[in-house]
Chains A and B, each alone.
Chain A
Amino acid sequence: MTRQARVAYDGAIHSATPHEKGLQLADGRVLAETAVVWLPPFEVGTIIALGLNYADHVKELSKELTVSSQDEPLVFLKGPGSLVGHRGHTRRPADAAFMHHECELAVVIGRTARRVKAAHALDHVAGYTVSNDYAVRDYLENWYRPNLRVKNRDGGTAIGPWLVSASEIPDPQALGLRSYVNGQVTQQGHTRQMIHSVASLIEYLSDFMTLRAGDVILTGTPDGVVNVQPGDEVVCEIDQVGRLVNTLAADSVYGR
């Protein structure tokens, strides 16, 4: 496996690999990218997410706040109902003034990690994918912030399209990442700007919780987050990892 997706097509769920015309199912069928329903590209276990892991984004959120690698990572957890695959829709609540996208490198664990040191941490990574971890800032409260009403909304975390083998990404801190809203660049960052690297996050987390295959770490986002509206197409792109498309949908689509 170097690049693998999970898709629904013709009444069944398939694994798929890239093809010059789009993608190829394991059974041989070649399809256009828009002909399938893209699912999260792996069976998801525990979803771990990082806040404030890029110095420039910290500055963007609060002029007074400073965070360094000496500070404990700001970690929160999400449930599987938050995930939606490539080319899916995310609901944009009408009563919120500010809902923003967040392009994040997602690190998928491939082998049980318990008290792993950073020097060996990447041996436990199966691969990487792209995530867009939306936040609705109107719902922020100062209790277990960011609270789940902000960060664990149904379909509020797009992920995919491909799970890219760790062997293809020798250095996860050497990747440029960008977001586009309706084709305009909004976020431009680089994973070397992470406050806590992928390896140090695995060391930190595995010191107190056993990480297992399928657990995923969403490693935080750089600055440039902007408000999005129903109908907006948001693309999150990470060098060598992939290009994740998501479209915002209005409450009315959901009968609200």
Chain B
Amino acid sequence: MNSSNLPTLEFDTAPYKLSGVVYGCLLNHAPALAALGDAVNLPPYKAPPRAPVLYIKPRNTLAADGDAVVVPADAAALQLGAALGLVIGRTACRVSEADALDHVAAALIVNELSVPHANFYRPSVRFKARDGFCPLGPKVVALADLPNSVDALTVRVYVDGTLVQQTHTGDRIRSAARLLADVSEFMTLSPGDILMLGVCADAPLARAGQQVAIEIDGLGRLHNTLVAEAAPLTQEPAR
């Protein structure tokens, strides 16, 4: 991917400004944490997470529905992190769980792509922050227009048209409201920020050449194509 096909989303489309700050939460899906078993108590972790463990998908990762995503040459496959993203509508600083969802304008689908990695001790920027690794969309839907609560929506992941994972947005260590309350205790979320609920256990993999799609009830279908990395550029881009 070159600089000419960096973010193609409309960031200032009314009514929700997507500012480009997308936050994810590690191991918020209870079965995903349980799958680590006693390893959470052993080095290097020594204890399960206490506060929400967050990460950032920076602006170079943002991509839109339909975009091709490059699979790095050194990765056999990418992990498809099907996630619901909460679009913040009002400044959220130290919100209570009861009031938290009043600060959320809407929701959307995020395909939180990673180069698979088994160790979560150090921030995994090289595995999560590659260009195009955060497709979003295809639409932003107000919470009131969702068919069910944000914590009870079915999530389906498809690879080449075949259903490979069906989960739902529940079973979280922290529900949407609890997560927003706990995050806003130490960092303010601003209108247009996105907070992801967390990726489910056993996130499926896909290789270059495959079509991937995520559906969440009421949020539509986000589809992207994975493509192989071209030979490394040997020249500096033109000034």
Q: Which residues of A contact B (CB under 8 A)?
A: 45-46, 48, 72, 74-82, 111-112, 114-116, 120, 123, 139, 141-149, 152-154, 208-212
Q: A115-B233, A208-B129 are in contact. Are A143 and B45 (CB under 8 A)?
A: yes
The residues of B with any CB-CB pair to A shorter than 8 Å are: 1-3, 6, 21, 23, 26-27, 44-47, 49-56, 58-61, 72, 93, 120-126, 129-131, 186-190, 193, 232-233, 236-237, 239
B239 touches A144 (CB 8 A): no
By the criterion CB–CB under 8 Å, are B187 and A210 in contact? no
10 residue pairs from A and B, CB less than 8 Å apart = A45-B58, A75-B123, A77-B56, A114-B233, A141-B50, A143-B26, A143-B27, A143-B45, A147-B51, A212-B60
Residue among A74, A80, A210, A211 making CB contact with B21, cutoff 8 Å: A80
Give, as a whole number of angstroms, the nearest-CB distance from A147 to chain B.
5
- B23 with A79: CB separation less than 8 A: yes
Question: CA separation between A152 and B58, bound complex, in Å?
Answer: 14
Cβ contacts under 8 Å, B52 to chain A: 149
**B51 CB contact (under 8 Å) in A78, A79, A120, A139:** A139
How far does the Cβ of A25 sit from chain B's closest Cβ, in whole Å?
27
Which residue of chain A has the shortest Cβ distance to B58 in the bound complex? Answer: A46
CB-based contact B123/A144 at 8 Å: yes
- Asked if A78 contacts B122 (CB within 8 A), the reply is no
Shortest beta-carbon distance, B223 to chain A, in Å?
23
Rounded to whole angstroms, the CA-CA distance of A146 and B122 in the bound complex is 7
The 9 nearest A-B residue pairs measured at CB: A46-B58, A77-B56, A76-B123, A148-B54, A143-B53, A75-B125, A144-B123, A142-B45, A210-B60
Closest to A205 in B: B125
Contact of A141 among B49, B129, B131, B237 (CB under 8 A): B49
The docked-state distance in angstroms from the alpha carbon of A77 to that of B27 is 18
Bound-complex Cα distance A74 to B125 (A): 9
For B123, the chain A residues whose CB sits under 8 A away are 74-77, 144-146
Query: In the complex, which residues of chain A have a beta carbon less than 8 angstroms from the beta carbon of B50?
Result: 141
Q: B29 to chain A: closest CB distance in Å?
A: 14
Cross-chain contact A79 with B56 (CB below 8 angstroms): yes
With A116-B236, A153-B186, A210-B131: A144-B3 Cβ-Cβ less than 8 Å: no
B27 touches A112 (CB 8 A): no
B187 close to A46 (CB less than 8 A): no
Q: How far is the CB of A226 from chain B (nearest CB, A)?
A: 22
Cross-chain contact of A46 among B2, B59, B232, B236 (Cβ < 8 A)? B59
Q: Which of B55, B61, B121, B232 contacts A115 (CB 8 A)?
A: B232
**Shortest Cβ gap from B130 to chain A (Å):** 5
Chain A nearest Cβ from B74, distance in angstroms: 10
A46 touches B51 (CB 8 A): no
Assembled-state Cα–Cα distance A143/B27 (Å) = 10
A33 to chain B, nearest CB (A): 28
* Complex-state Cα separation, A212 to B62, whole angstroms: 13
Give the distance in Å from the alpha carbon of A104 to the alpha carbon of B90 in the complex: 33
